[in-house]
Structure 1
Amino acid sequence: MGKKSSSEFRDIRLDKTRQDLLESMTIRYSSVLRQLATTNNEESRFTNFINNKKVNPDAILSQSWKETKADWSDKHMLVISDSSTLSFVNRADREKLGYIGQKTKKTGFHIHPSILLDAKDGGLYGVGSVNIIKTDFAQTPQEIADKKQRNKDRWKIPFEKKERHKWLTSPKKAIENCPTAAQYTLVGDRETDIYDLMSRTLNEGWDFLYRSKNNRKLSNTEEFDTLYKTLPRWNIEHKCRFDVAASKKRSKHEVTANLKYGTVSIKRPKFHRDKELPENIELQVVEIKECTNSVVGNEAPIHWILLTSHPVNTVEQALQILQWYRWRWTIEELFRTLKTRGLNIEASEVETFHGLANLTTMALSAAAQTMQMVKARDGQTNQKIEDVFTEKEQECLKQLNKQLQGNTEKSKNPHPSNSLAYASWIIGRLGGWKGYVKSRPPGPITMIKGLTKFYNILNGYYLII
């Protein structure tokens, strides 16, 4: 019998191991257990922890949120969700994982986390929840036939039993871990343009900001009018400029775009199986369409059609919706930090699906700390230093700040010592950033290097004090 506690694991020893594993991930920035452990005994502890049946992703994150000191009681929270696929090399000593696609012999699973951001300044509070989704292989002729039939009958399946129900269950778990905020807005990409999801989000008392994917029929216009036929008739209300990060399909550049907004009422799909859903949902639409003069080469222009439950009656409100949607990029950066650009979770040698799911959840938490530093680096977020660092860690940061600052005003830490931006400046400097305002701001890789160096210094600092 383990020692009982108030932790989610009901065992003090398991909770202590969780803390040690997370700290080691942050120090060494790896997901390989033998690299994270300093002794054989510690490697055994870490291995036993992630494979323990009492340990699961929900319990790991719930315990983490219990320990946070952040106060979000008056906050408007953005709950941003997205999916990513993790693939692992097949090994003789690893149990079979899930199907991830026809173009690879690797197996793996899908992750669907929800992260929580401050709607006022984009400050990241952490990973609120994660769904781990394993898709079984269809191997026998009967299994293949059954899979094809399920695909044909998808429209008959209730929303609650479909995989895309994750767009509601994951944010719901995140909100349960962060239950006292004043307001919540669920944010998602084109996959969230689901009538059931919009209706159920509103029923929960939350707002939404989802990107359009479907040319929906409208109920407050002519009989055969659709959303995409209506938008060209709206006036351009504003011309805006904003930066977009580089992606697989797009170069990093400054976008010049025309902005439109208005109110529509979308119809429930004609053959929808759930007739208890409202016949119409009134919502606001913000369209952002890139001008030809800012498009790079032969790349496709930015064209976002955003659906929201928030009022949009002014240019300022429309620009706020645009800003919230742009902050969705935070979760994309989180995935990059989780994978080859950071913790390299797909290099893990863990043998079981249960263990890999738990290790992935731990790695997401470690990656989120890096992203907190990135978000806070320019001082635009209002997060406090105690949201991330303990009192002893703060003391060490103050000592390091004295060493890292220069003699001129331009080379000094410009942020208040109680702000997360203050810590972010120090971590960036430790990672090799020059520290000047005009310098290119430190990105995730620089912050990873800085955090690794900081926690190594911290171990020596503890010995001194």
Structure 2
Amino acid sequence: MRAGIKESTRWIEGYARLAELSASLPDTRLVYVADREADIIELMRTARDLGEPVDWLVRSQHHRALPHGERLWSAVMADKPVGELHFTMASRHGRKAREVHQQIRVKSVTLADGRGGELSASCVIATEADPPVGVTPVEWRLLTNRPIKDFNDAAQLIDWYRARWEIEMFFHVLKNGCKVEALQLASIDKLERALAVYLVVAWRIARLMRLGRSCPDLDVELLSRPRTEQARGAPVYPARSAPHPGPLPAGEREHGLRTSKLPAGRRERMIPASLAFPGEVMHGATRAPRRV
């Protein structure tokens, strides 16, 4: 963070940069997705003043006052649910995977813009129904510039927000796996070249991590090329590698670099094709939310 700059500025700058990019992508929908820290009226006002060239979707942090004396979340929760969502929440941080059933409520609202005017927004609140005893219910309160006509529109916005976790995992790998913050390069030029490489590596590793969790029984051979297809360069297999006895589930070699869980006779160090080659071998599958 630059010295003397408010942290909220980075959210506004991020949106402005996407707005500049949108001019060169007229046939592409760009969506600015952010967590609670981006629930600032300056961001929404900036988007409105620019003509909203990029859609925005943020997690609501403030129980804002509405023009007629109501409060934002209370006004939305006073309406009846427009539908329900069912999905599987993945395990993480010591929590087991579990099924989640949410009720969805939506409302179009008018917010004060902080300068004596008003701006229009839509609010979506997804609340978990009947969570397990002792478990914190899964609840999301979202604000967006997009109009919500029906349940399908609301479900799409929730899908977009849930995808934000993939971005969190990507930066976790980039910072803690690739250790980019420990780089001690003398110039911006060198730093940019290093990041160009690390960003690709981090994305590939994050993808393998997701496959290891969402498809634990996936055959690892689908993600790793045989020796004859390896790219030229440093050898990947040791000179005397014993033949492997059979396929190994991807969940046992999440990054494709572990050897501790390999059965006897299978100690080669394989590099996944998604790291060694530009072409994709396969696409991962996840369980999509079921709409009721």
Q: TM-score range by the shorter chain?
A: 0.5 to 0.7
The equivalent of 1:193 in structure 2 is 39
- C-alpha distance in 2, partners of 1:312/1:456? 40
Q: CA deviation at 1:226?
A: 1.0
**Cα 1:403–1:240, aligned 2, differ >3 Å: closer, same or farther?**
farther
- C-alpha distance in 2, partners of 1:292/1:166? 38
Does the aligned pair in 2 maintain the 1:250–1:299 contact within 8 Å? no
Does the aligned pair in 1 maintain the 2:18–2:54 contact within 8 Å? no
**Cα 1:228–1:368, aligned 2, differ >3 Å: closer, same or farther?**
same
- C-alpha distance in 2, partners of 1:371/1:323? 19
Map Cα deviations across residues 388-443 of structure 1 (whole Å, 9 max, x no partner): xxxxxxxxx99937989xxxxxxxxxxxxxxxxxxxxxxxxxxx9846xxx75985
Residue 363 in 1 paired to residue 192 in 2?
A: no
- C-alpha distance in 2, partners of 1:313/1:455? 40
**Cα 1:455–1:201, aligned 2, differ >3 Å: closer, same or farther?**
closer
2:44 alignment partner AA: M
The equivalent of 1:166 in structure 2 is 10
Give the secondary structure class of the aligned counterpart of 2:225: helix
Residue 211 in 1 paired to residue 59 in 2?
A: yes
Q: TM-score, normalised by structure 2?
A: 0.65
Gaps of 5+ in 2: 213-221, 230-245, 260-268, 278-292
Alignment partner of 1:345 out of 180, 185, 190: 180
**Cα 1:403–1:318, aligned 2, differ >3 Å: closer, same or farther?**
farther
Does the aligned pair in 1 maintain the 2:12–2:42 contact within 8 Å? no
Does the aligned pair in 2 maintain the 1:433–1:446 contact within 8 Å? no
Residue 301 in 1 paired to residue 126 in 2?
A: no
Map Cα deviations across residues 229-284 of structure 1 (whole Å, 9 max, x no partner): 2122110222211223345596542211111112111223xxx4x45xxx222221
Give the secondary structure class of the aligned counterpart of 1:240: strand
The equivalent of 1:96 in structure 2 is none
Alignment partner of 1:400 out of 222, 225, 239: 225
- C-alpha distance in 2, partners of 1:442/1:288? 35
Alignment partner of 1:281 out of 108, 119, 136: 119
Residue 313 in 1 paired to residue 149 in 2?
A: yes
Alignment partner of 1:264 out of 93, 109, 120: 109
Does the aligned pair in 1 maintain the 2:55–2:146 contact within 8 Å? yes
Q: CA deviation at 1:308?
A: 1.3
**Cα 1:243–1:451, aligned 2, differ >3 Å: closer, same or farther?**
farther
Identity value in percent? 22
Alignment partner of 2:30 out of 171, 184, 195: 184
Residue 243 in 1 paired to residue 107 in 2?
A: no
The equivalent of 1:45 in structure 2 is none
- C-alpha distance in 2, partners of 1:171/1:448? 40
The equivalent of 1:334 in structure 2 is 170
Q: CA deviation at 1:134?
A: 4.8
**Cα 1:233–1:177, aligned 2, differ >3 Å: closer, same or farther?**
closer
Q: CA deviation at 1:355?
A: 8.4
- C-alpha distance in 2, partners of 1:293/1:455? 38
- C-alpha distance in 2, partners of 1:259/1:242? 13
2:105 alignment partner AA: K
- C-alpha distance in 2, partners of 1:343/1:331? 15
**Cα 1:228–1:290, aligned 2, differ >3 Å: closer, same or farther?**
same
- C-alpha distance in 1, partners of 2:164/2:13? 18
Q: CA deviation at 1:227?
A: 0.6
- C-alpha distance in 2, partners of 1:174/1:374? 28
1:400 alignment partner AA: R
Q: CA deviation at 1:332?
A: 0.8
Q: TM-score, normalised by structure 1?
A: 0.43
2:178 alignment partner AA: L
Give the alignment's Cα RMSD to 1 decimal: 4.1
Richer in helix (by share): 1
2:145 alignment partner AA: S
Gaps of 5+ in 1: 1-132, 137-160, 378-396, 405-431, 459-465
- C-alpha distance in 1, partners of 2:7/2:275? 42
Does the aligned pair in 1 maintain the 2:110–2:118 contact within 8 Å? yes
